[in-house]
């Protein structure tokens, strides 16, 4: 029996939640940082929790196998080994008084911490990642979010190597020691759970700014990076100031410390972390410069800076009681940052992008073995639950509350929530209760969105009664069984509806409004509209008012009509998607049955109309003319036929390009401007349309368009245009030119790590058949670093998750490659290993032969022994 089977990781259940036996009044930390170790002394003042039922309860401290315990004392008395017990990775100390101070000294080795959880080294600097359970890799502690304490932190390190020493809160003291070392003392005046603790020590520089809050408090803003990246911080600073202002205006939330710091680090498992007063960011989410960053990168920086800043209230001031409540802070904060991005840019485009992600990736999660509700009922490893369901679906659930209550009442609800729970660790029930209290509504059915997993399906039909001038919408809702839950009760689904007359204008509905929010709460329900004088075309689920799959039997003519007339921008886009999905799904069947493919001209004509419509926002045009992705078509398919989807996608794109080439060329030329680069919404829109036009033109593989792309590649003064051209040329059949641009791009950008990542990703996503060999060769390239998550993501994840036809090569080589990577990463960095596994876990959605190959690789990983909790959980659920 393998070890992993003997020590089966425990399942943790929400229903087993108990309050902590002890509360912490104060946590004092002292870090002695050295090259081969760090010594951590913690002095923690404990008090027995009056709310704990058992007055004899021992103190249970979380730890980790990597901790070397050097000393443990209570009120100055050293404990010997018989005074406590080790229970797994925990420490259990019995027979304690009601009040005492525990001192603990641990020795850790940050330089060998490849998991990047707890205290580790990134490119020579010390940094931390404590969410969710990294603090237990630093010292023995009640590492749970409902234990909140005041922190005081002293960091001691060599002054030359680590001139900058940071932690949470305000710097209160500093000094030099005789031996070339120095120290800084930080104090955080707000109680916080350990997951919000942070420390940074390094040779960093910063840009400085300041912000004056609505009530007149002066806040010093600092963004730190390595010297070479100092020129890439301005955009993050602007975004930060905009976020601070926006949160005051829209949510009435002010910043609460005298200083706010962001630090950019190159080795990071996720995007960024909202540690109190000291956010730590993956370089990919904070550095931005026109020469090195694409438009989407700028928008990501803006969104992530806002997200982490907004956590200061939705997450830090009010935090989670336990990790089952993760979406309490994440869903709400994603909702807040999505509102912010919508305000800063185009709301419709932002909505389209968010929904596209939800519908491809989150819906696929619901359909896979890791399906879970927004508030999960159990987990083995919480790191596996930083998912699209917790974040993106969690955001949709908050958005539905906003839709149901209206902006004003929602704001009252958020005010009440922040007020009522400031300084507390609470649950999603508490959040909904605040919304219920301000609205006077019973939201108990609504709460099923938190406890039931799966993507509800809503089938709608319309019935027009000319005699009574009455239009009725019949709705049926159901939710398919998910891996974790067989049956579900009906949800409260807000369906925003408009009715279009024959001219395409909105028919006034109740109270003269043009959009009405229907509340579908039963398995079957009908909604009647009176005084409807002509049979309308319904526009359903406007602005995607609920995270569901809604079906209405539209004809292609109706979809074209909606594309042209719907006053809801989101639904105009969605009509185009539905039109293309319908056509492409039929072509997939044609392809499978060996029929000649013929494209319905309706799609071409609809696209032609859009291209000719000068009144449309350019970003919208680019979105509407983007075909449904292969990933989305895969999610919609019963059984995924990767090859058929890929071939049909190519065919349709090529047919459109061939038919509309002169128009695309016109659009391309009309949007090529010599203006100086700016990441504002209008310029981004112009570039996105221009590069979309170029991508259609390049599909035709005509040399004249290659010439255009080459010219763009050579002349571009910004990374957006340069990378767009690079990708198109590199992925084309013009092999000599492909090799040439890839080489020159690397030559030009080899010293810019984030640009090199893009260069890796372009090659990893190349649809040409030799991609795997290329990826394997690139793993040996000087530019690759197998310990850096950003490099792994750019090469391995992009290949396995985005290069569908190569990853799913019928010889199984893609699967074997991924399994080999995971076996290595399982030991090195379990979080990344487990995330990387995702594509293989979906094996049931493929043909029997393909699925068997995928499953065999999962089993091979399973048999490789010594599985991390992270990988164990995903594997066991995938193989169940």
Site for ligand ARG contains 278 (CB under 6 A): no
State both tokens at 742: 């890839």
Residue number, 381 or 630, with CB nearest to ligand ARG: 381
Judge contact between 369 and 384, C-beta under 8 A.
no
State both tokens at 384: 């596996």
State the Cα torsion 461-464-469-471 to the nearest 10°. Answer: 0
Residue number, 269 or 718, with CB nearest to ligand ARG: 269
Q: How far is the CB of 319 from ligand ARG (least distance, A)?
A: 11
Site for ligand ARG contains 396 (CB under 6 A): no
Site for ligand ARG contains 272 (CB under 6 A): yes
State both tokens at 310: 């907004």
Q: What is the Cα–Cα distance from 271 to 260, expressed in whole angstroms?
A: 18
Contact partner, 821, from ligand ARG, Zn ion, none, Cβ < 5-8 Å per class: none
**Strands, DSSP E only, in 590-687?**
none
Number of residues located near ligand ARG, criterion CB under 6 A:
14
Site for ligand ARG in 301-340 (CB under 6 A): 307-308, 330
Using the contact rule CB under 6 A, the part of the chain among 124-132, 448-456, 748-756, 837-845 near ligand ARG is: 124-132
Residue number, 340 or 386, with CB nearest to ligand ARG: 386
Judge contact between 104 and 41, C-beta under 8 A.
yes
Q: How far is the CB of 841 from ligand ARG (least distance, A)?
A: 18
Contact partner, 656, from Zn ion, ligand ARG, none, Cβ < 5-8 Å per class: none
Contact partner, 255, from ligand ARG, Zn ion, none, Cβ < 5-8 Å per class: none
Residue number, 134 or 202, with CB nearest to ligand ARG: 134
Using the contact rule CB under 5 A, the part of the chain among 56-64, 147-155, 331-339, 367-375 near Zn ion is: 331-339
The catalytic residue among 103, 308, 381, 857 is 308
Using the contact rule CB under 6 A, the part of the chain among 19-27, 128-136, 684-692, 760-768 near ligand ARG is: 128-136
Residue number, 327 or 732, with CB nearest to Zn ion: 327
Residue number, 274 or 752, with CB nearest to ligand ARG: 274
Three-class secondary structure of residue 630 per DSSP: helix
Q: How far from 82 is each of 93, 317, 822, CA to CA, in Å?
A: 10, 39, 40
Residue number, 103 or 330, with CB nearest to Zn ion: 330
Judge contact between 395 and 338, C-beta under 8 A.
yes
Cβ contacts of 121 within 8 Å, gap of 6 or more: 110, 111, 113, 127, 267
Judge contact between 170 and 186, C-beta under 8 A.
yes
Provide DSSP, 514-551: S-EEEEE-SSEEEEEEE---SPPEEEESTT--SSSEEE
Site for ligand ARG in 333-372 (CB under 6 A): none
Nearest Cα to Cα of residue 165 among 135, 134, 130, 127 = 127
Q: Is the bond leading into 132 cis (omega within 30 degrees of zero)?
A: yes
Contact partner, 273, from Zn ion, ligand ARG, none, Cβ < 5-8 Å per class: ligand ARG
For Zn ion, what does the binding mask look like between residues 191 and 210, x meaning CB under 5 A?
A: --------------------
Using the contact rule CB under 6 A, the part of the chain among 11-19, 267-275, 596-604, 818-826 near ligand ARG is: 267-275
Site for ligand ARG contains 131 (CB under 6 A): yes
Residue number, 48 or 307, with CB nearest to ligand ARG: 307
Judge contact between 313 and 773, C-beta under 8 A.
no
Contact partner, 695, from ligand ARG, Zn ion, none, Cβ < 5-8 Å per class: none
Among 104, 149, 196, 273, binds ligand ARG (CB under 6 A): 273
Judge contact between 22 and 44, C-beta under 8 A.
no
Using the contact rule CB under 6 A, the part of the chain among 72-80, 272-280, 719-727, 774-782 near ligand ARG is: 272-280
Q: Which residue's Cβ has the minimum distance to ligand ARG?
A: 270
Contact partner, 477, from Zn ion, ligand ARG, none, Cβ < 5-8 Å per class: none
Beta strand pairing call for 425-426 and 319-320: parallel
Cβ contacts of 723 within 8 Å, gap of 6 or more: 294, 758, 762
Number of residues located near Zn ion, criterion CB under 5 A:
2
Q: How far from 504 is each of 534, 567, 575, CA to CA, in Å?
A: 12, 9, 14
Cβ contacts of 785 within 8 Å, gap of 6 or more: 791
Using the contact rule CB under 6 A, the part of the chain among 127-135, 665-673, 727-735, 850-858 near ligand ARG is: 127-135
Q: How far is the CB of 366 from Zn ion (least distance, A)?
A: 21
Q: How far is the CB of 279 from ligand ARG (least distance, A)?
A: 9
Among 129, 316, 387, 634, binds ligand ARG (CB under 6 A): 129
State both tokens at 406: 């209206």
Among 128, 269, 283, 414, binds ligand ARG (CB under 6 A): 269
For ligand ARG, what does the binding mask look like between residues 807 and 836, x meaning CB under 6 A?
A: ------------------------x-----
Site for ligand ARG in 619-658 (CB under 6 A): none
Among 132, 361, 398, 655, binds ligand ARG (CB under 6 A): 132
Give catalytic status of residue 177 as yes or no.
Answer: no
Could you give the maximum distance between any two Cα atoms of the chain, in Å? 95
Nearest Cα to Cα of residue 341 among 312, 294, 300 = 300
Cα-to-chain-centroid distance, residue 778 = 27
Among 383, 539, 718, 809, binds ligand ARG (CB under 6 A): 383
- Helices 326-344, 295-310: axis angle to 10 degrees equals 130
Residue number, 365 or 600, with CB nearest to ligand ARG: 365
State the Cα torsion 380-836-394-487 to the nearest 10°. Answer: -60
Using the contact rule CB under 6 A, the part of the chain among 25-33, 126-134, 396-404, 622-630 near ligand ARG is: 126-134
Residue number, 129 or 671, with CB nearest to ligand ARG: 129
Q: What is the Cα–Cα distance from 20 to 484, expressed in whole angstroms?
A: 29
3-state helix, strand, coil in the chain (%, to 5): 45, 20, 30
Q: What is the Cα–Cα distance from 630 to 577, expressed in whole angstroms?
A: 12
Residue number, 303 or 633, with CB nearest to Zn ion: 303
Using the contact rule CB under 5 A, the part of the chain among 237-245, 333-341, 369-377, 560-568 near Zn ion is: 333-341
For ligand ARG, what does the binding mask look like between residues 74 and 113, x meaning CB under 6 A?
A: ----------------------------------------
Judge contact between 432 and 401, C-beta under 8 A.
yes
State both tokens at 376: 């999960």
Q: How far from 93 is each of 88, 108, 760, CA to CA, in Å?
A: 14, 22, 51
Q: How far is the CB of 381 from ligand ARG (least distance, A)?
A: 10
Q: How far is the CB of 132 from Zn ion (least distance, A)?
A: 11
Site for ligand ARG contains 874 (CB under 6 A): no
Q: How far is the CB of 330 from ligand ARG (least distance, A)?
A: 6
Site for ligand ARG contains 270 (CB under 6 A): yes
> Which residues, in sequence order, are bridge partners of residue 184?
155, 174
Q: What is the Cα–Cα distance from 596 to 591, expressed in whole angstroms?
A: 7
Residue number, 330 or 641, with CB nearest to Zn ion: 330
Q: What is the Cα–Cα distance from 112 to 118, expressed in whole angstroms?
A: 12
Q: How far is the CB of 133 from ligand ARG (least distance, A)?
A: 9
Active site amino acids: 308
Question: Which chain residues interact with ligand ARG by CB under 6 A?
Answer: 129, 131-132, 269-270, 272-274, 307-308, 330, 383, 386, 831
Question: Which chain residues interact with Zn ion by CB under 5 A?
Answer: 330, 333
């Amino acid at each position: 029996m393998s070890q992993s089977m003997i020590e089966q990781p425990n399942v943790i259940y929400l229903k087993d939640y108990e309050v902590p036996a002890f509360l912490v009044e104060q946590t004092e930390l002292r870090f002695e940082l050295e090259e081969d170790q760090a010594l951590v002394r913690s002095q923690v003042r404990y008090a027995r929790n009056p709310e704990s039922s058992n007055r004899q309860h021992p103190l249970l401290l979380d730890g980790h196998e990597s901790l070397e315990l050097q000393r443990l004392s209570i009120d100055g008395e050293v404990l010997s080994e018989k005074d406590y017990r080790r229970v797994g990775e925990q420490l259990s100390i019995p027979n304690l008084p009601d009040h005492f101070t525990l001192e603990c000294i641990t020795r850790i080795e940050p330089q060998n911490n490849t998991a990047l959880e707890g205290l580790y080294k990134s490119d020579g600097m010390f940094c931390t990642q404590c969410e969710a359970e990294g603090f237990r890799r630093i010292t023995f502690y009640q590492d749970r979010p409902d234990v909140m304490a005041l922190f005081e932190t002293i960091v001691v390190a060599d002054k030359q190597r680590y001139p900058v020493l940071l932690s949470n809160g305000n710097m209160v003291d500093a000094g030099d020691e005789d031996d070339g070392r120095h120290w800084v003392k930080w104090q955080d005046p707000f109680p916080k759970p350990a997951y919000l603790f942070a420390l940074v020590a390094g040779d960093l520089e910063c840009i400085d700014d300041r912000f004056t809050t609505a009530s007149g408090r002066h806040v010093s803003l600092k963004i730190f990076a390595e010297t070479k990246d100092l020129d890439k911080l301005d955009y993050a600073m602007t975004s930060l100031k905009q976020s601070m202002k926006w949160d005051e205006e829209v949510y009435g939330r002010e910043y609460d410390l005298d200083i706010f710091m962001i630090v950019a680090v190159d080795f990071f498992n996720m995007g960024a972390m909202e540690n109190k007063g000291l956010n730590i960011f993956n370089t990919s989410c904070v550095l931005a410069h026109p020469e090195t960053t694409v438009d989407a990168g700028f928008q990501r920086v803006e969104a992530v800076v806002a997200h982490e800043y907004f956590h200061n209230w939705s997450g830090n001031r009010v935090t989670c009681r336990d990790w089952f409540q993760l979406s309490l802070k994440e869903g709400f904060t994603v909702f807040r940052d999505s509102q912010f991005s919508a305000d800063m840019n185009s709301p419709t485009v932002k909505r389209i992008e968010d929904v596209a992600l939800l519908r491809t990736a989150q819906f696929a999660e619901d359909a896979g073995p890791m399906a879970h509700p927004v508030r999960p009922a159990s987990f083995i490893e919480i790191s596996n639950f930083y998912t699209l369901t917790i974040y993106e679906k969690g955001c949709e659930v908050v958005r539905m509350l906003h839709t149901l209550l209206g902006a004003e009442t929602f704001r009252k609800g958020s005010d009440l929530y922040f007020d009522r729970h400031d300084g507390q660790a609470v649950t999603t029930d508490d959040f909904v209760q605040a919304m219920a209290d301000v609205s006077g509504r019973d939201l108990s059915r609504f709460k099923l969105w938190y406890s039931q997993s799966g993507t509800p399906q809503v089938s709608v039909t319309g019935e027009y009664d000319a005699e009574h001038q009455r239009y009725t919408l019949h709705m049926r809702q159901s939710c398919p069984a998910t891996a974790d839950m067989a049956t579900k009760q009906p949800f409260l689904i807000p369906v925003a509806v408009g009715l279009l007359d024959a001219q395409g204008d909105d028919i006034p509905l109740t109270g003269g409004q043009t959009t009405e929010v229907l509340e579908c709460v039963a398995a079957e329900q009908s909604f009647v509209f009176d005084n409807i004088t002509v049979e309308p075309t319904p526009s359903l689920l406007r602005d995607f008012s609920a995270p569901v799959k809604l079906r209405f039997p539209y004809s292609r003519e109706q979809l074209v009509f909606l594309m042209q007339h719907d006053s809801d921008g989101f639904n105009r886009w969605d009509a185009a998607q539905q039109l293309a999905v319908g056509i492409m799904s039929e072509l997939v069947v044609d392809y499978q049955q060996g029929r000649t493919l013929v494209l319905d001209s309706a799609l071409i004509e609809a696209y032609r109309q859009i291209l000719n419509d000068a009144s449309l926002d350019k970003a919208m045009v680019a979105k509407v003319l983007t075909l449904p992705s292969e990933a989305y078509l895969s999610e919609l398919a019963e059984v995924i036929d990767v090859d058929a989807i890929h071939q049909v996608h190519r065919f349709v794109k090529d047919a459109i390009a061939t038919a509309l080439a002169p128009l695309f060329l016109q659009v391309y030329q009309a949007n090529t401007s010599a203006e100086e680069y700016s990441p504002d919404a209008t310029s981004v829109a112009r570039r996105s349309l221009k590069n979309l036009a170029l991508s259609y033109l390049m599909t035709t593989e005509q040399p004249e368009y290659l010439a255009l792309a080459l010219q763009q590649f050579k002349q571009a003064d910004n990374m957006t245009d340069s990378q767009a051209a690079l990708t198109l040329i590199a992925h084309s059949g013009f092999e000599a030119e492909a090799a040439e641009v890839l080489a020159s791009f690397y030559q030009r950008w080899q010293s810019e790590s984030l640009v090199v990542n893009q260069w890796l990703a372009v090659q990893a996503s190349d649809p040409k058949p030799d991609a795997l060999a290329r990826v394997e060769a690139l793993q040996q390239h000087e530019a690759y670093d197998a310990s850096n998550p950003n490099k792994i993501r750019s090469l391995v994840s992009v290949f396995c998750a985005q290069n569908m036809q190569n990853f799913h090569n019928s010889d199984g080589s893609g699967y074997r490659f991924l399994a080999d990577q995971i076996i290595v990463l399982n030991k090195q960095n379990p979080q990344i290993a487990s995330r990387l596994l995702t594509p293989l876990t979906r094996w049931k959605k493929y043909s029997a032969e393909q699925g068997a190959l995928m499953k065999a690789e999962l089993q091979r990983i399973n048999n490789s022994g010594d599985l991390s909790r992270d990988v164990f959980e995903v594997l066991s659920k995938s193989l169940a």
